[in-house]
Amino acid sequence: MFASLLILVSLRGTITDPSGALVSGASIQLRGPAREQRAKTDSTGRYSFPELTPGNYQVRITAKGFSVVQKKDVEIQQPRILDVQLAIHGEAQVVTVEDELGRVGATADANGSRMVLRERQLAALSDDPEELALQLQALAGPAPGPGGG
User: Residue 47: which domain range?
Assistant: 10-85
Q: What is the dihedral of CA 129, 131, 132, 133, to 10 degrees?
A: 90
- Are 24 and 76 in a shared domain? yes
Query: Model confidence over 25-50: pLDDT tens digits?
Result: 999 999 988 789 999 999 999 999 99
Query: If phi over 0 gives left and psi between -120 and 50 gives alpha, with beta otherwise, what is residue 147?
Result: left
- Are 81 and 133 in a shared domain? no
Q: Given this model, what pLDDT does residue 99 score?
A: 62
Give the pLDDT mean for 77-106. Answer: 78
Query: Quick check: is 93 in a domain?
Result: no
Give the pLDDT mean for 104-111. Answer: 59
| C-alpha to C-alpha distance for 32 and 59, rounded to whole angstroms | 9
For the chain, what is the domain count?
2
Give the pLDDT mean for 127-144. Answer: 79
Q: Given this model, what pLDDT does residue 80 score?
A: 95
- Are 58 and 119 in a shared domain? no
| C-alpha to C-alpha distance for 10 and 6, rounded to whole angstroms | 13
